[in-house]
Amino acid sequence: MTDGFEDFVHTATGHAPYPYQARIAAEGLPGLLKAPTGAGKTAAAVLPWLYRRLVSAPERTPRRLVYVLPQHALADRTFARIGEWLDRLARADEVGLHLLAGASAHNGVWRRHPERTAILVGTHDMLLSRALMRGFADARAMAPVSYGLLHTDTQWVFDEMHLLRPALPTSVQLQRLRDLLGTPAPTRSMWMSSTWDPAGPQDPPSTVELSGADRQGELAVRLNAVRRIRQLEAEPGHYIQELAQALNTAHVPGTQTVAVLNTVERARALYRALREAAPDRDVTLIHSRFRAAEHRSRMADLGEAQRDRVIVATQGLEAGTDLSSRTLLTELAPWSSIVQRAGRCNRDGEHPQGADLLWCRPPTGDPDAEASARWLTAHEGQAVTSAQLQDARISQYTAPRQALGQSDLLELFDTAADPQGTDVSRWICDAADLTMLVAWRSWESGEPSDEEPHPGRDELCQVPLADVRQLLDGRAWLRDRLDGHWRRAVAGDLHPGETLLLDAQYGGYLPDEGWAPESRTPVTPGPGSPDSQTFACTHWVSLDQHLMETEDEARKLIDALPGLSPEQQEAVARAARYHDLGKCHEVFQEMLRAGGGDPPGGLLAKSKAPYSTGRSSRPYFRHELVSALLLMHGDHWHRDPGHRDGADHPLVTYLAAAHHGRVRISVRPQGEEAPLLLGVGDGDRTPPVELSTGERFPAQSLQTEIFAPGPGAAGSWTERALTLRNRPDLGPFRLAYLETLVRVADWRSSARHDGPVDGLT
């Protein structure tokens, strides 16, 4: 196995694995990996997992790897690096690779193939919020799918755990709750660290550290590379100007200098000062608040190692970036940040005589950084190695916070409990780090029309939520969740991950500096979504055909996935068979036929494009609510002669109702629709439905009292759903996973009839 892994790593990277990486490949990923910065932790997490999943132990290795970087990290670099490894291994078609960070946070493609081996790379705000069923930049209706997959058959890896701040204890607690409440297939976590600190996972299943063999040979050059420590003094009143002058003096011609500042505002100011002081000098500004297109261009430039230039950056360089410099300046920061930044100075030992690590106190201090100041001061003028930085015994103070509890996790399972969205940010990041996504557009009328397309990835920019609060004077627009129309944003709309359109005439962005809320220079709108052919349903599809095809897809899916009991497998298949029964309602049938064409007789599930308008006479009508009512009031389908124990009818009913993520634990009216409930009224009549299985659902008069909002009265829908969530054989993680399988089966059966359609926008 060791020889096979050596060849595997050499093909991927061009280098042999380090001994500790080979140990991980042989034994599996540990609970804790401790190694100095520059020791190859990214490869140690990804390549052993990939080798075990594809070659040596596929049945004992989770099929998804979730690689979590700190929020401000430049996740694109890690994503691109893993992509290169997959290409060299000729495994790119076999392993899905997906980015969930910044403008790519809306990525949902990964959810459509739960049976596929996949790697997700993202920042901790985007990934952990999804693990709490309140995903930033994730549609609320998709939350159960993200949640179900992230807690099942998944290996989590947390890079530089001490940079996660409040997310670190949350990640530890989530693993504890998975172990306690159970998951369909094993899900594990590994935390990685370059610094000593007693905080973090207590009693991890196993710990891997570098051995004596690791500290020899090629890796020894990196571990023993030195950088000399020197403090720079800069007066607060002339801080940026003096910093620029000091950097110009310290820069060694023909080499790369990096300056890492704690705020984007100061990084932008230093960038301008350097450009003004030395117009001919190559200066690059790197931070996370550029539009995706400009950000991608800067990331490409970052890969040019041998270049005479100065890079001005923020904490985004602290993790996931294989970058080195001859001279590095860092503002005083907590110790974990100092160690990571120092790891970008003489990283490869390419300067045998040593490099310069400069540090300075910013105008605004951080109490958590004083321990760093004492250590740096004590080592003034000394040359230190990466190993010495890791071994420094500096406690990294973390302010006490409200910990995520089991009751919190269970409450979050109800995605309709708080229409405005339960705030999970306190378990994930500091308030100052909450972000939104914005794009700039221009309109002759001064406002977007209903046909205004949603922003494309390349035009989106991740910005602080606090900054956006200053723009709510008619300059910001969002698409209303209920009616789909663009409207002016108000303070109550500002949630992490929300997407806004900003009026380009008011400024707020500079191409070479990124997000600039004080700028009033009109913004040139970025490239929108590229023109692409529209795909839609190309046939009239009967209700019975769609139900049978969805059951077929569900049975194929559960055959390919581990961890479900026979009863759970049957519940998924039966829910798939019944999930769209509610489409028999006249409101839905009228919608399918209202666009014209020549629809066939009988009950339909889908209309042929371009005749599918999607506009209902009842705006909030949800057919899955009708499906639940039909199943709850029909006892005949509970007993199936083909299955000795029959169906778990409460579970089947719940899964059928939940297959669009809107009818789950509690159900609330939308907008001003009362006395209707999701478009369904008491006394509505449904026609009889007969399936090709021979099952017949008689005509019914619908009654919605069981869905009345409340804390879960006996016999109510909420009480029944909570009973399922709390069942020992289910629990929240299994129940959400079963929801996901029905949802994916529905997507796949629908895709059987999708194709390119002209005339649609």
Q: Is the pLDDT of residue 710 over 70?
A: no
**Same domain assignment for residues 583 and 542:** yes
Average pLDDT over residues 711-732: 89
Residues 126, 101: contact at Cβ < 8 Å? Answer: yes
Instruction: Give the span between the Cα atoms of 496 and 74, in whole angstroms.
Output: 19
> The domain containing residue 565 runs over which residues?
535-756
Instruction: Give the span between the Cα atoms of 455 and 468, in whole angstroms.
Output: 17
> Does residue 614 form part of some domain?
yes
What DSSP designation does 685 have? E
**Same domain assignment for residues 720 and 612:** yes
> Does residue 403 form part of some domain?
no
Q: Is the pLDDT of residue 550 over 80?
A: yes
Give me the pLDDT at residue 411, please.
94
Give me the pLDDT at residue 200, please.
63
For residue 51, name the pLDDT band (cuts at 50, 70, 90): very high
> Does residue 555 form part of some domain?
yes
Last residue of a domain, one of 515, 549, 580: 515
Instruction: Look at phi and psi of residue 683 and say left if phi exceeds 0, alpha if psi is from -120 to 50, else beta.
Output: left
**Same domain assignment for residues 568 and 691:** yes
**Same domain assignment for residues 662 and 741:** yes
Give me the pLDDT at residue 531, please.
47
Give me the pLDDT at residue 711, please.
63
**Same domain assignment for residues 729 and 699:** yes
Give me the pLDDT at residue 397, please.
54
Average pLDDT over residues 244-258: 95
Give me the pLDDT at residue 753, please.
93
Last residue of a domain, one of 162, 185, 218: 218
**Same domain assignment for residues 597 and 492:** no
Instruction: Give the span between the Cα atoms of 461 and 463, in whole angstroms.
Output: 6
Q: Is the pLDDT of residue 535 over 90?
A: no
Q: What is the CATH number of the domain that holds 357?
A: 3.40.50.300
How many DSSP H helices and E strands does the chain contain? 23, 29
For residue 761, name the pLDDT band (cuts at 50, 70, 90): very low
**Same domain assignment for residues 234 and 210:** no
Give the model confidence (pLDDT) of 659-699 as tens digits. Answer: 999 999 999 888 888 899 999 999 999 999 999 999 999 99
Give the model confidence (pLDDT) of 367-417 as tens digits. Answer: 889 999 999 999 999 999 988 998 888 876 565 567 899 999 999 999 987
Give me the pLDDT at residue 357, please.
97
Last residue of a domain, one of 218, 249, 272: 218
Q: What is the CATH number of the domain that holds 706?
A: 1.10.3210
Please tell me the least confidently modeled range out of 2-6, 115-119, 249-253: 2-6
> Does residue 405 form part of some domain?
no
- What pTM was computed for the model? 0.94
> Does residue 421 form part of some domain?
no
**Same domain assignment for residues 62 and 204:** yes
> Does residue 400 form part of some domain?
no
Give me the pLDDT at residue 205, please.
80
Q: How far, CA to CA in Å, does 511 sit from each of 284, 285, 457? A: 12, 11, 16
Q: How far, CA to CA in Å, does 611 sit from each of 155, 536, 597, 757? A: 44, 10, 6, 11
**Same domain assignment for residues 91 and 67:** yes
Average pLDDT over residues 77-92: 96
Q: Is the pLDDT of residue 642 over 50?
A: no
In the chain, the number of structural domains is 4
Q: Is the pLDDT of residue 266 over 90?
A: yes
Average pLDDT over residues 342-355: 91
**Same domain assignment for residues 302 and 349:** yes
Cβ atoms within 10 Å, residue 451: 7
**Same domain assignment for residues 150 and 265:** no
Give the model confidence (pLDDT) of 490-512 as tens digits. Answer: 988 888 999 999 999 999 999 99
> Does residue 420 form part of some domain?
no
**Same domain assignment for residues 309 and 444:** no
Structure tokens at 292: 């995706």
Give the model confidence (pLDDT) of 56-84 as tens digits. Answer: 999 999 999 999 999 989 999 999 999 99
For residue 258, name the pLDDT band (cuts at 50, 70, 90): very high
Q: What is the dihedral of CA 624, 626, 631, 634, to 10 degrees?
A: -170
Give the model confidence (pLDDT) of 565-610 as tens digits. Answer: 999 999 999 999 999 999 999 999 999 999 888 999 999 999 998 8
Give the model confidence (pLDDT) of 330-347 as tens digits. Answer: 999 999 999 999 999 999
Buried/exposed code over 676-690 (b: 16+ C-beta within 10 A; e: otherwise): bbbbbeeebebeebe
For 297, how many CA atoms within 13 A lie in the half-sphere containing its CB? Answer: 10
> Does residue 419 form part of some domain?
no
Average pLDDT over residues 24-53: 95
